[in-house]
Amino acid sequence: MPGARRTLIPTARAAAAALLIACFGGPAAVAGPVIEYLGTHVWQEADEDFGGFSGLELTADGSGFTALSDRGTLRWGSIHRDRQGRIKELSTAGHARLQDSNGTPLKPGYLGDAEGLAIDRQGRIFVSFEGLDRIARYDDPDSPADPIPRADWFRKLRRNLGLEALAITDTGDLLTIPEAWPDEGNGFPVWRYRGGAWSNPFHLPRDDAWAPVGADIGPDGRLYVLERHFRGLRGFQSRVRRYEFGEDYAGPPETLIETSLLQFDNLEGIAVWADGQGIRITMISDDNFLFLQRTELVEYRIRD
Q: What is the CATH number of the domain that holds 57?
A: 2.120.10.30
Report pTM.
0.89
Residue 17: pLDDT above 90? no
Q: What value, to the nearest 5°, has the Cα angle with vertex 288 and ends 189 and 262?
A: 80
CA 106 to chain centre: 25
Residue 19 has pLDDT above 70, yes or no: no
What are 221-241's pLDDT values in tens digits? 999 999 999 887 778 999 999
Contact 133, 123 (CB under 8 A): no
Query: Is 13 contained in some domain?
Result: no
> Does residue 113 sit within a domain?
yes
Confidence check: pLDDT of 161 > 80: yes
Please tell me the predicted confidence (pLDDT) of residue 262: 87
User: 24 φ, ψ to 5°?
Assistant: -115, 5
The Cα–Cα gap between 118 and 168 comes to 6
9 belongs to a structural domain: no
53: in domain: yes
Residue 75 lies in a domain: yes
Is the confidence at residue 69, as pLDDT, over 90? Answer: yes
What average pLDDT does this structure show over 135-158? 95
CA distance 240 to 259: 9
For residues 68 and 82, give the distance between their C-alpha atoms in angstroms, rounded to a whole number: 25
User: Would you say residue 1 has pLDDT above 90?
Assistant: no
Over residues 256-296, the pLDDT tens digits come to 999 999 899 999 999 999 999 999 999 999 999 998 899 99
Number of domains within the chain: 1
Are residues 58 and 282 in contact, defined by beta-carbon separation less than 8 angstroms? yes
Residue pLDDT, tens place only, 166-212 = 999 999 999 999 999 987 678 999 999 999 999 999 999 988 889 99
Better-scored residue on pLDDT, 175 or 28: 175
Question: Does residue 178 lie in a domain region?
Answer: yes
Q: Is residue 46 part of a domain?
A: yes
List beta partners, residue 37.
300
Pairwise CA distance, residues 283 & 290, whole Å: 19
Average pLDDT, the chain: 90
Task: Over range 147-174, report the average pLDDT.
Answer: 94
Asked if 114 and 89 count as a contact pair (C-beta separation under 8 A), the reply is: no
**Containing domain of residue 124, as a range?**
34-303
